[in-house]
Every structure is written in structure tokens, then in C-alpha cells.
């Protein structure tokens, strides 16, 4: 494909992404991710999903405005921006118009399935969207860590990024110091077994987690709250389509997360309200976390 056509198709995709509410988009080559730790994983090489793959499209949607003021109140269950964004298992549906555009041009395109068949953070770094922070998350200069990611593998030849963003964390270790469970003892590497988010979604909640979880009932953002690149977003989130849309639901969500009400929630009601978020956390574990958080709130009241 000649450069003029590559530039034209790349620009068409960028313009479409902007028009449908995607906040960040980048293109990179579809070569194998060298050094990928899971050598038998299909995720290590885009060509295992699409044999003639030429490019990866990485899209990001800003979720910094998906937050509830009542999270600061111990009587309200706290979760994460990613949880409430509906992108807990990657951005998928918003990418359909881009896939349709590529197919209409006569090419193939595969959206990375929820879960997914592409190491999205590594792809985003290669596509120039940011760098990996010491908390192991992608950091964007514009969006901090608050980008939900989705990806497309395609055999269309695009004008892709050739220069990665340099690591700007330098000597900062605020995310590491903030983690109460020492899950970031090694910079850039999350110890998943030590992570509070992992513990809250699994059986056998350790006492050390109960002691520090406060009003968190699903997921944890402590390292993100501490990250200097998120400071402006926590204080004053960017005004995006998703931020504006979510603000209309804040009162309803806050009412739902009132811990005394959550403690009386039935499994049916839990599924009706949260199934669309696709978090895949059993009701029994959710209920367990709610009861622990409620007891903590009562103790605070009594002191």
C-alpha cells in the first residue's frame, strides 16, 4: 500500500474514533511481543489471531470522571473507576464502527475479545499512548492511568507509531509506598497475590486485607490515587462524553452503594444491577465484603 493511502486510511480511522467518543487512539505494527512472559499464550503474537496481520489499533476511553463523591464516606461501598465504567474486561463495543469501516475498505479486523487475545498495555506502549508506571499500569501524559483500553488486530497497513514514550516515573515511588499490602515491592511488577483487588474477588480474605480495606468492596485504586500523574484528574476530571454521561447517574449509584442497603441486597438484585458491568465476582464474595465494610463503618461511628 502506498504512503498516501496509508495516511488517508489512518486519518479516516482517527476521525471516526474521535466522532464516536474514543479519547485516545494509536497504531502499531503487528509483530510478536518479544519477551512476553507467557510463551504458550496466543496473546504474545497478533498473527496467531490473524495470520496476515499488519497493524494493531489501540483505543483508549477516559474513565477519570467515573467517580463517586460518597466514596469518601465510610458508610458507602467503594469500588473503582474501571469497575463503574463497564470496561472491566476491556473496551469492545465502542470499537465496532472502526471494525465496520475497515471491513468496508475490504480488509479484515478482529476486536480483542473481553479478556483478551492481545496484551493491551504492551500494545498501547508500542502505539505511543504512554509508558508503564511502577504500579505496572499504563500512564498517559494527558489521561494519567485512567484509560480503559481496547484493541483491534487488522491486515490493513496503517501509518503506525515508531517511537515509544519514555519512562517518566524516574525516582518517584509514591505508588509503591502507598500500597498497604506491599504488592508493588518490585517496581513495574504487580504481585497479584498480594493485591487488594485480587483478594477482594477471591475466597479466604486474609486478615491483613480486612485490616486495611476500609470501605472497599470491589477493586482497589490506592496506587492510582497516589500516582502524581493522576493528581489533576482526581481533583478535576476531564470533561469527556463519558464523564458527562456518568455525572447524570452519580446520585443513583451513590444511593445504590449505601452499605446498610447493600447488606440487604438479594443475589437477584445484585445481578440485575451489576451483571452488565461484567465483573464476574460471585454474590457471596460481594456480600462478604459489604458486611466487613459495614462493620468498619459502625466502629468508626462508635469511636
Given a contact cutoff of 8 angstroms between Cβ atoms, the answer to whether 127 and 60 are in contact is no
Q: What is the pLDDT of residues 257-294, one digit of tens each?
A: 999 999 999 999 999 999 988 888 999 999 999 999 99
Q: What is the pLDDT of residues 85-112, one digit of tens each?
A: 999 989 999 999 999 999 999 999 999 8
Task: Let me know how long the chain is.
Answer: 303
Please provide the average confidence, as pLDDT, over all residues in the chain.
94
Tell me the Ramachandran region of residue 170: left when phi exceeds 0, alpha when psi lies from -120 to 50, beta otherwise.
left
Average pLDDT in the 26-40 region? 87
* Rounded (5°) CA angle 123-152-95: 120
Given a contact cutoff of 8 angstroms between Cβ atoms, the answer to whether 259 and 77 are in contact is yes
Q: When comparing pLDDT for 303 and 55, which is higher? A: 55
* Model pLDDT, residue 149: 96
Bridge partner residues of 177 (DSSP): none
Percent of the chain with pLDDT over 70: 98
* Model pLDDT, residue 117: 78
- 25 vs 267: CA distance, rounded Å: 38
| Residue 170 reports pLDDT greater than 80 | yes
| Residue 141 reports pLDDT greater than 90 | yes
CA distances from 16 to 9, 124, 130, 140 (A): 11, 19, 21, 21
Question: Among 249, 266, 239, 257, which Cα is nearest to 297's?
Answer: 257
- 87 vs 116: CA distance, rounded Å: 12
* Model pLDDT, residue 7: 83
Average pLDDT in the 70-76 region? 97
Question: Among 230, 235, 181, 184, which Cα is nearest to 209's?
Answer: 181
* Model pLDDT, residue 279: 82
| Residue 299 reports pLDDT greater than 90 | no
* Model pLDDT, residue 231: 97
Per-residue burial over 285-302, b if 16 or more Cβ lie within 10 Å, else e, is bbbebbebbbebbeeeee
| Residue 221 reports pLDDT greater than 80 | yes
Stated pTM of the model:
0.94
Q: What is the pLDDT of residues 181-213, one digit of tens each?
A: 999 999 999 999 999 999 999 999 999 999 999
How far does CA 240 lie from the centroid of its chain? 16
Percent of the chain with pLDDT over 90: 85
**Per-position DSSP letters for 101-145, written without gaps between them:** HHHHTT--EEEPPTT-SS-HHHHHHHTTS-EE-TTSSEEBTTTBT
Amino acid at each position: 500500500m502506498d504512503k498516501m493511502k496509508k495516511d488517508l486510511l489512518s486519518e479516516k480511522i482517527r476521525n471516526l474514533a474521535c466522532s464516536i467518543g474514543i479519547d485516545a487512539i494509536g497504531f502499531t505494527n503487528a509483530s510478536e511481543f518479544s519477551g512476553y512472559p507467557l510463551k504458550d499464550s496466543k496473546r504474545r503474537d497478533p498473527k496467531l489471531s490473524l495470520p496476515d496481520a499488519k497493524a494493531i489499533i489501540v483505543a483508549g476511553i477516559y474513565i477519570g470522571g467515573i467517580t463517586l463523591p460518597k466514596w469518601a464516606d465510610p458508610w458507602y461501598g467503594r469500588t473503582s473507576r474501571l469497575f463503574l465504567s463497564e470496561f472491566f474486561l476491556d473496551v469492545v463495543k465502542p470499537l465496532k464502527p472502526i471494525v465496520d469501516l475497515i471491513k468496508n475498505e475490504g480488509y479484515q479486523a478482529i476486536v480483542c475479545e473481553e479478556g483478551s487475545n492481545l496484551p493491551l498495555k504492551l500494545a498501547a506502549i508500542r502505539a505511543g499512548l504512554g509508558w508503564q508506571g511502577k504500579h505496572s499500569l499504563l500512564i498517559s501524559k494527558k489521561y494519567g492511568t485512567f484509560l480503559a483500553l481496547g484493541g483491534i488486530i487488522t491486515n490493513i497497513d496503517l501509518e503506525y507509531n515508531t517511537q515509544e514514550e519514555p519512562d517518566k516515573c524516574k525516582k518517584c515511588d509514591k505508588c509503591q509506598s502507598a500500597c498497604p499490602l506491599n504488592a508493588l515491592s518490585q517496581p513495574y511488577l504487580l504481585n497479584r497475590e498480594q493485591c487488594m483487588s485480587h483478594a477482594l474477588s477471591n475466597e479466604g480474605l486474609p486478615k491483613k486485607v480486612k485490616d486495611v480495606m476500609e470501605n472497599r468492596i470491589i477493586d482497589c485504586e490506592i496506587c492510582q490515587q497516589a500516582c502524581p500523574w493522576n493528581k489533576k484528574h482526581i481533583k478535576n476530571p476531564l470533561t469527556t462524553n463519558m464523564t458527562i454521561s456518568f455525572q447524570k447517574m452519580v446520585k443513583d449509584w451513590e444511593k445504590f452503594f449505601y452499605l446498610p442497603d447493600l447488606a440487604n441486597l438479594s443475589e437477584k438484585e445484585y445481578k440485575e444491577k451489576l451483571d452488565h458491568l461484567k465483573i464476574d465476582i460471585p454474590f457471596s464474595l460481594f456480600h462478604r465484603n459489604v458486611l466487613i465494610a459495614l462493620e468498619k463503618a459502625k466502629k468508626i461511628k462508635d469511636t
